């Protein structure tokens, strides 16, 4: 029973363009949604989060959009840079606990 799904395993974007990473969830009771970025052989690093009472949160080049009616979350990166090439995970706290459930990740490649 996957509570959070990232249906695109990979995405390739040209430098300077927008990258859009998507995440779908099943439980409408989640309070927060988080995005993490992971380079190979390293731990994930927290990128940005959004509360369920908002529909948008922006931090520099990164913006997260939340569509509660569609149970859909997206991360926009603009402009994309080669250093953004990594695996991106969305994550949610089940039962409003300290735990996180992670999606399977989307590998973003930004090419020149």
Partner 1 sequence: DGGITQSPKYLFRKEGQNVTLSCEQNLNHDAMYWYRQDPGQGLRLIYYSQIVNDFQKGDIAEGYSVSREKKESFPLTVTSAQKNPTAFYLCASSIAGSGQPQHFGDGTRLSIL
Q: Which of 22, 74, 104, 109 binds partner 1 (CB under 8 A)?
A: 104
Smallest separation (angstroms) from partner 1 to the CB of 111:
22
Q: Which residues pair with 106 in a beta bridge?
A: 88
Range list of β-strands (E), the chain? 4-5, 10-14, 19-25, 32-38, 45-51, 56-59, 62-67, 72-77, 86-92, 101-102, 106-111
Under rule CB under 8 A, residue 89 binds partner 1: yes
CB 96 within 8 A of CB 106: no
Span near partner 1 by CB under 8 A; candidates 11-19, 29-37, 54-62, 64-72: 29-37
Under rule CB under 8 A, residue 21 binds partner 1: no
> Which residues form the interface with partner 1 (CB under 8 A)?
6, 9, 31-32, 34, 41-46, 49, 51, 89, 93, 96-105
């Amino acid at each position: 029973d996957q509570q959070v799904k990232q249906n695109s395993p990979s995405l390739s974007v040209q430098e300077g363009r927008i990258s859009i990473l998507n995440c779908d969830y099943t439980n409408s009771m989640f309070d927060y949604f988080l995005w993490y970025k992971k380079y190979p052989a390293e731990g994930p690093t927290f990128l940005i989060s959004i509360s369920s009472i908002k529909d948008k949160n922006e931090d520099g080049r990164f913006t997260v959009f939340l569509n509660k009616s569609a149970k859909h979350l997206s991360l926009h990166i603009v402009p994309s840079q080669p250093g953004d090439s990594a695996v991106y995970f969305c994550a949610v706290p089940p039962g409003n606990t300290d735990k996180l459930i992670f999606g399977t990740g989307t590998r973003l490649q930004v090419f020149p």
